[in-house]
Amino acid sequence: MVFRFDQTRVSEATEAKLEAMRILTGEVNACIDGILEEDPNADVLVWDGHGSGGIVYEMFHDEARLLPHAKTPAPYGLDETFDAVFFVGQHAMAGTAEAPLAHTYSSKTVEHYLLNGQPVGEFGMRAYMAGTLFDVPVAFLSGDDKAVLEAKALVPGLVGVATKQGTGLEAAVSLGVGKARELIWMGAQKAVRRVRKKEIAPVRLAPPYEWEVRVLEGQEAALEGYLRRPGAERIDGRTAIIRTDDARAVLR
């Protein structure tokens, strides 16, 4: 149901944006329900990872806690005390064919990220962050079918729930809202069981780290923020590489 940038990219509370937020909040709540169904004592902390905010506060689950997107820096409340990370409403990395809303952090400025020579998006960066910094596995992801494939390729054993089949950058065949929530609920239960049995391992990345950032044509100014990072080098007008042994300087 959510596959257009006018539903997600804007900061204003348009009807399209509010509809997308209601759908996302319902899916997040379904994931929480699934976790608590399997583990009633679970302490669920949700970070709203959408750039302009994606959660409708008055709809949010009463048995979980919420970190807003604004002013919540990496690692977004995560530490070594957590058992697992779950992703809800995730998109594929920038450049993925037929993937709705495919982008890497900024849909307006970033062409691609490479981490140690491999293409990586938000999911991969944060999965490596969880595993490398805190030894925490990523157990679940819901989103379009391309995002699910991307996640499963990196994390063996991850439970993936495809709520839509991508047919283009702003096109998809979506499940009904109720069906998507049901599958997310069931998938979250399954993921908790796998975590309990230690069937999903954290993904880790050893130093040294080489993070290549390439911005879109016409967005050269966006490169300046990356160039201010320690170990950064300009390769050309649209590309920078950050070299470091510090995982916290890269994984975010």
pLDDT value for 247: 96
pLDDT at 19 over 90: yes
Q: How far apart are CA 199 and CA 157, in angstroms?
A: 7
pLDDT value for 7: 86
pTM (two decimals): 0.95
DSSP symbols for 148-190? HHHHHHHSTT-EEEEEEEEEETTEEEE--HHHHHHHHHHHHHH
pLDDT value for 149: 98
Class of domain 5-249: alpha beta
Domain residue ranges of the chain, discontinuous segments joined by +: 5-249
Structure confidence at residue 47 as a pLDDT band (50, 70, 90): very high
Does the bond joining 100 to the residue before it have cis omega, within 30 degrees of 0?
A: no
Does the bond joining 230 to the residue before it have cis omega, within 30 degrees of 0?
A: no
Strand, coil or helix: what is 57? helix
pLDDT value for 147: 98
Q: How far apart are CA 63 and CA 5, in angstroms?
A: 31
pLDDT at 70 over 80: no
Q: How far apart are CA 124 and CA 115, in angstroms?
A: 9
Place of tokens 């509809």: 19
Q: How far apart are CA 103 and CA 109, in angstroms?
A: 9
pLDDT value for 72: 87
* Residues paired with residue 236 on neighbouring β-strands, in sequence order: 239
Window from 11-15, 24-28, 116-120, 157-161 with minimum mean pLDDT? 11-15
pLDDT value for 161: 98
Structure confidence at residue 9 as a pLDDT band (50, 70, 90): confident
Q: How far apart are CA 251 and CA 234, in angstroms?
A: 20
Structure confidence at residue 69 as a pLDDT band (50, 70, 90): confident
Q: How far apart are CA 131 and CA 134, in angstroms?
A: 6
- Residues in contact with 178: Cβ distance below 8 Å, sequence separation at least 6, in sequence order: none
Q: Identify whether the C-beta of residue 139 lies closer than 8 Å to the C-beta of residue 156.
A: no
